[in-house]
Amino acid sequence: DTEVTQTPKHLVMGMTNKKSLKCEQHMGHRAMYWYKQKAKKPPELMFVYSYEKLSINESVPSRFSPECPNSSLLNLHLHALQPEDSALYLCASSGKARDKNSPLHFGNGTRLTVT
Partner 1 sequence: ELKVEQNPLFLSMQEGKNYTIYCNYSTTSDRLYWYRQDPGKSLESLFVLLSNGAVKQEGRLMASLDTKARLSTLHITAAVHDLSATYFCAVAYAGTASKLTFGTGTRLQVTL
**Minimum distance between the CB of residue 13 and partner 1, rounded to whole angstroms?**
20
For residue 85, give the 3-state DSSP assignment.
Answer: helix
| Smallest distance from partner 1 to CB 79, Å | 25
Among 78, 95, 112, 114, binds partner 1 (CB under 8 A): 95
d(CA 112, CA 37): 10
Nearer to partner 1, 5 or 17 (CB): 5
End-to-end CA distance of the chain: 31
Cα 89 to Cα 76: distance, rounded to the nearest angstrom: 9
Q: Which residues bind partner 1 (CB under 8 A)?
A: 2, 31, 33, 40-45, 48, 50, 55-56, 90, 92, 94-95, 100-109
